[in-house]
Structure 1
Amino acid sequence: MAIPYEQDPQMQQYFSTLPPMIQESILQSGIPFQTEEELRQAVENLMDNKNS
């Protein structure tokens, strides 16, 4: 099964700009992000938790 952001060029472009550790966290989460906004929110939350 394809990861939704692999099907959306804009989401894939954004994902590819993320640091490797964040990319890995996203992949390991298994969350099927449907929109770029959902993906961005998750990244923001990960970054906030990383800096806490």
Structure 2
Amino acid sequence: MAVITYGALSLFAPTWRRRTRIVLSVFAPLAVVLLMAWWILRVVGSAGRED
């Protein structure tokens, strides 16, 4: 996932420094995974109770 993100950043932002692209390519997928995990836990956690 990080390799795909790094490739996309290299394509769309070639003027950015290499280190910036590497950091973003690691943290962007991580943020997406954390967001998905939070959303799934929220949906699963709220499935049993009624407001």
Question: Normalized per residue, which structure has more helix?
Answer: 2
Normalised by the size of structure 1, how large is the TM-score? 0.36
Q: Is the radius of gyration larger for structure 1 or structure 2?
A: 2
